[in-house]
Amino acid sequence: MEEKQQQDIDLDKVYDYAQFPGKVSGRCDNCNSSYFKSSVKGGVFLRECQECGMKKII
């Protein structure tokens, strides 16, 4: 069942998409929001959810 995949998400940690792919494309894994702030620095694309603050390197 899906319930066993439910995990605690640490909002202070930056997740890597290669290790933790999105559950639903274009949605935050934590709060299911689609509102992100994106930035690129040093060739790294960082996506931050504007609702809960979860960060993921894409």
For residue 38, the model assigns a pLDDT of 96
Which sequence spans correspond to the domains of the chain? 9-57
Q: How many CB atoms lie within 10 A of CB 54?
A: 21
Higher pLDDT, 42 or 3: 42
Average pLDDT value for residue range 3-20: 79
Give me 24's structure tokens: 């639903």
Return the higher-pLDDT residue of 22 and 1.
22
Write out pLDDT tens, residues 27-53. Answer: 999 999 999 999 999 999 999 999 999
* Whole-structure pTM value: 0.78
Neighbours of 49 (CB within 10 A): 21
Neighbours of 48 (CB within 10 A): 15
Confidence (pLDDT) at 37 = 96
